[in-house]
Structure formats: structure tokens, C-alpha cells
Amino acid sequence: MNFHSGLAFWALSAALILLGSVVVVSGHPSFHGGGGAPSNPWEAFRNFTGCLPGENRTGLADLKRYLRHFGYLPNPVRPSNSNLSDAFDEPLREAILSYQRNFRLNATGFLDPSTVDLMAQPRCGVADVVNGTASMRGRGLYSYFPGRPTWPSQKTNLTYAIISTAGVSASASTLQGVFSRAFSRWSEVTTLTFAQVDAAVVEPDITIGFFSGDHGDGEAFDGALGTLAHAFSPPDGRLHLDAAENWVAEGDVTTASSSSWAVDLESVVVHEIGHLLGLGHSSVEEAIMYPTIRIRAKKVLLADDDIQGIQSLYGRNPSYNGSTTPPSSTTTAMKERDSSGARPSPATAGWTLAVGGLLVAATASFLFL
């Protein structure tokens, strides 16, 4: 082996080792949920793209049920009036307008591509409009549940317990770590603290569980994707997660295969804790309390909107220095706001390309010496 070919071999080996170290640092996601390709219950909404008022399309009744569930169409006073038609009628147009305004979309009243795409995304099961009040209003600000419920002022140390992990293969220690980190996001900026307890010994303030389908709270889950989780306003204290999801409980969800339907557990839990503490949904897309999250996306850092909202309810942690703690992995931190494949952020895409280009360029410079 001559000098140049030796250098080329060394460079190629080093590049492969470096590439391998990036994979190890970022980690491989661990999936804990159902297997196989899921059927997104809302994917069929994409067939209505371009549908206009006055038209009849088979399946529009399902879209109306979606809008009714999230508060954009009223629930019937009598069960006999619960049937929904496939007609694009005036109530549907008004519901779409309200949805578009809440999410700061172009308010057309039509099922344009951006509106339908957002409707098809997995999301929190808590309604955006409660008792006829649209808390989001597209105002770019945090919101509360009607009546602004909070935990009692004298109760600043809240306890929680994981009471059901049926259908989830993650270890107890892994789940404990996820929930501990999620709660710490909120305690870092407020006067509240959180401690895990054994529900068999102490009655917790907050109960957490994974459930499937109809699980007795009137808010049945719909299988993989669709509704991911829901939580109840204080002082109810219930947080329920859909056991059918392909939850990623450890590792970097953003490195999952583009064909996977991975959902980051911590991201969803941080959002639902916001509801447990009294926050409603936000129309700020960067906020934790934004209702939707795309698959393979990680979003665990509180935005200014989240921080201002929770501090207005419980006050500011005296130790809070104005910034939240970043994830332990540099890769995760850089991909925090990645929208997971469908719309990768420029920063994330640029970083990935830069690393790949650096390795190729370094190798090539030696190969052609």
C-alpha cells in the first residue's frame, strides 16, 4: 500500500467511525406500542381538499364529527338530532372558518390544502372550543379553560402516579424518567413542584395511564394516530395516553425511519401536563400547548407563550433564569422544532447536510491526493 492509498484508507475508516459515532450519540429510538402500519383515522380528510360549499361528498359527515369533537360544531341538544350529513352546508363552512382562525390559517371557509393537512395530523384530544368559547382565537397567545381553573394556592407540591401501562412495553424506569423530565419542564419555571408516589400507598393528585378505545371517561381513543392523549383541567388530575400509539420513550424520535409512525412520548406528556395545570390550547405553532404534533417530531422545550401562560396562573420560580433546560443530546436540541420529515426545519436540514458534506469532502480530499 503506497502513501496516498494508505491515507485514503485511513480517511475512509475515520469517516465511517465518525458517522457511526453520530448515530450512537443521537441514539436509536425505542418503540413502545402497537406494531405494523397504522390506519390514521383522519387521513381520508385529504380526499376533501378543494371541496366547496354546496357540494356533497361521501365521508363529510366524519369531518363534521371531527369538528364537533373539538368544539367547532355544537353537540345536539337531543340524541335524535345527532345524525350528520355529507353536505358541505353553512354550519360546516362556519366551523371551518373558526378552525382556520384559531390556527392562524388563511380564513377561506374552504377545505384548502393547508387546512386539510393540519386536520389530518395527530393531536391532543382536548377540545379547542369549550362550551362555545373558542379559547385559541388565533390571537397568538396562551389560553385557559373556561373559568380559569387552577390547583389550590396552598397546594404547590403535587404528587403523581403511573397507574396503568397496559400495552406499553417500556420499562418502569424508562417511563419514570420520561414523566419526571416532563414535569420538570413546568416546575423549572413556576412555583409548583412534582413528586412521583405509589398509588397503592398514597392517593396522588395526578394519575397517569395508557388506555385503549373506550376507557370509561367519555373520551374514547381512536387507535393509532388521530387522538394521541387527553388530560382534564384542575383539580381533576387525570392524564390518559392512547396505548395504541407507537410511542418513542427513549432515544431520538427524529432519527426514526421515514416510513415509521413514531410519536415522541415526552413531547405529548409535556403538552398534557399543561392541561392538568389549567392551560388550554395555543395558536402559537412553536408553543408546547399547540394542539397538533407531527410524527417523528420532538418538542419538549417550553416556548415564551407557555411560560407566560403558566406563570400567570402560578407565579414565577425564583430560581428561573429566563431560559429552559435543553435536552441532554445536542442532536435533539438542534432538532427540537423539527416538523418531522414532511416539513424539516432549515436549521436541521442544513446541519444534517453539513455533517454529510464534511465527511464526504474530508474523504474525497484524501482519495484524490
Q: By the 8 A CB rule, do 172 and 196 touch?
A: no
Catalytic status, residue 90 = no
Please state which architecture CATH assigns to domain 43-120.
Answer: Orthogonal Bundle (1.10)
Assign 257 a pLDDT band (cuts: 50, 70, 90).
confident
Q: CA separation (Å) from 61 to 83, 97, 110?
A: 8, 17, 16
Query: Per-residue pLDDT tens for 289-312?
Result: 999 999 999 999 999 999 999 999
Q: By the 8 A CB rule, do 244 and 224 touch?
A: yes
Give the three-state DSSP class for 62.
Answer: helix
Higher-pLDDT residue of 128 and 342 is 128
Cell digits of residue 130: 369549550
Known binding residue 124? Answer is: yes
The set of residues, in sequence order, having a beta carbon less than 8 Å from that of 38 and lying 6+ positions away, is: 223, 224, 225, 244, 246, 261
Known binding residue 215? Answer is: yes
Burial track 341-355 (b if 16+ CB lie within 10 A, e otherwise): beebeeebeeebeee
Instruction: Look at the pTM and tell me if it is higher than 0.95.
Output: no
Say yes or no to pLDDT of 363 above 60.
no
Say yes or no to pLDDT of 329 above 60.
no
CATH code for the part of the protein at 157-328:
3.40.390.10
Query: Per-residue pLDDT tens for 162-177?
Result: 999 988 889 999 999 9
Assign 3 a pLDDT band (cuts: 50, 70, 90).
very low
Known binding residue 222? Answer is: yes
Q: How far apart are CA 204 and CA 86, in angstroms?
A: 45
Known binding residue 281? Answer is: yes
Would you state the pLDDT for residue 26?
Answer: 25
Q: Which amino acid is at 183?
A: F
What average pLDDT does the segment 227-237 reach? 97
Q: How far apart are CA 245 and CA 227, in angstroms?
A: 9
DSSP annotation of 303: P
Q: Which amino acid is at 297?
A: A
**Which one of the listed residues 250, 266, 272, 336 is annotated catalytic?**
272
Would you state the pLDDT for residue 169?
Answer: 87
For the chain, the domains span 3-31+349-367, 43-120, 157-328
Beta bridge pairs of residue 247:
32, 263
Give the three-state DSSP class for 356.
Answer: helix
Q: How far apart are CA 327 and CA 243, in angstroms?
A: 25
Known binding residue 245? Answer is: yes
Would you state the pLDDT for residue 356?
Answer: 34
Q: By the 8 A CB rule, do 193 and 206 touch?
A: no
Would you state the pLDDT for residue 322?
Answer: 82
DSSP 4-37: HHHHHHHHHHHHHHHHHHHHHHH---EEEE--S-
Judged on CB neighbours under 10 Å (0-12, 13-18, 19+), 220 is: middle
Helix ranges (DSSP H) in 206-329:
265-276, 304-314
Backbone angles phi, psi at 157, to 5 degrees: -110, 100
Say yes or no to pLDDT of 126 above 60.
yes
Cell digits of residue 136: 385559541
